[in-house]
């Protein structure tokens, strides 16, 4: 059974959703027959590729939040992540265009390291405050995920996977995905959002039937 997951690297709910899904998968008795494919989605595709900006400032402007409201939102998100064993450190985080990070995930897919790559990107961004926007940092993360650094850097410089990223986004649009994470289980069941693990487990069981 194949699981298709659309996500964005800078989406805090996507990392939580990945972990909750993995918890469900660990309890699924047919887990050895599951194939997972990660797909690209950009929450802010118009963000500059040349520079980053304050994540908090961007979200405050987007949602009309005050500084204190933003701090409370981050505190809640940090606790939700902690409940899944994730160490979120959101203070001072920057945001930017995730196109190159998504290209790297496609590069990793070709080399059998896709899950390791997206996991490394999430941890770098949410727990370590490392850049997932500039090519040199991304190449370092690729190497840490078990990939060849020079080959990863070359792929980014050649923009080799831009079309693949756009194809993922086009498919998302065609099937009506407007937010992430979004899971398509067995080509039959769509699960939107970072649902509790029990919801994912139920969807896996239904798809297996």
What digits encode the pLDDT tens for the residues 114-156? 999 999 999 999 999 999 999 999 999 999 999 999 999 999 9
What pLDDT score does 104 carry?
98
Q: Average pLDDT, stretch 36-54?
A: 96
What pLDDT score does 14 carry?
98
Looking at the chain, the whole-number percentage of residues with pLDDT higher than 70 is 100
What's the structural domain count of the chain?
1
What pLDDT score does 97 carry?
98
What pLDDT score does 143 carry?
98
Q: What is the mean pLDDT of the chain?
A: 97
d(CA 85, CA 50): 33
What pLDDT score does 182 carry?
98
Q: What is the CATH number of the domain that holds 163?
A: 3.40.30.10
Q: How confident is the model at residue 56 (pLDDT cuts 50, 70, 90)?
A: very high
- Give SS3 for 94: strand
Calculate ∠ Cα 139-12-32, nearest 5°. 75
**8-state DSSP, 191:** E
Q: Which residue range is the domain that position 106 belongs to? A: 2-208
In tens, the pLDDT along 65-99 reads 999 999 999 999 999 999 999 999 999 999 999 99
d(CA 135, CA 141): 10
Q: Average pLDDT, stretch 188-207?
A: 96
Distances in Å between the Cα of 114 and the Cα atoms of 102, 110, 172 are 11, 8, 19
């Amino acid at each position: 059974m194949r699981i298709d997951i659309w996500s964005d690297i800078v989406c805090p709910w996507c990392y939580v959703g990945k972990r909750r899904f993995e918890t469900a998968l660990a309890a699924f008795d047919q887990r050895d027959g599951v194939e997972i494919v990660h797909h690209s989605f950009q929450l802010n595709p118009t963000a500059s590729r040349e520079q980053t900006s304050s994540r908090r400032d961007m979200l405050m402007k987007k949602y009309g939040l005050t500084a204190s409201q933003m701090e409370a939102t981050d505190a809640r998100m940090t606790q939700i992540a902690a409940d899944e064993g994730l160490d979120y450190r959101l203070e001072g985080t920057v945001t930017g265009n995730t196109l190159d990070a998504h290209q790297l995930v496609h590069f990793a897919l070709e080399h059998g390291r896709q899950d390791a790559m997206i996991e490394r990107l999430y941890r770098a961004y949410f727990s370590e405050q490392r850049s997932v926007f500039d090519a040199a940092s991304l190449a370092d993360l690729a190497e840490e995920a078990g990939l060849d650094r020079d080959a990863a850097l070359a792929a980014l410089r050649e923009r080799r996977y831009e079309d693949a990223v756009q194809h993922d986004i086009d498919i998302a649009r065609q099937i009506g995905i407007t937010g992430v994470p979004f899971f398509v289980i067995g080509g039959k069941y769509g699960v939107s959002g970072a649902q509790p693990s029990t919801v994912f487990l139920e969807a896996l069981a239904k798809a297996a039937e």
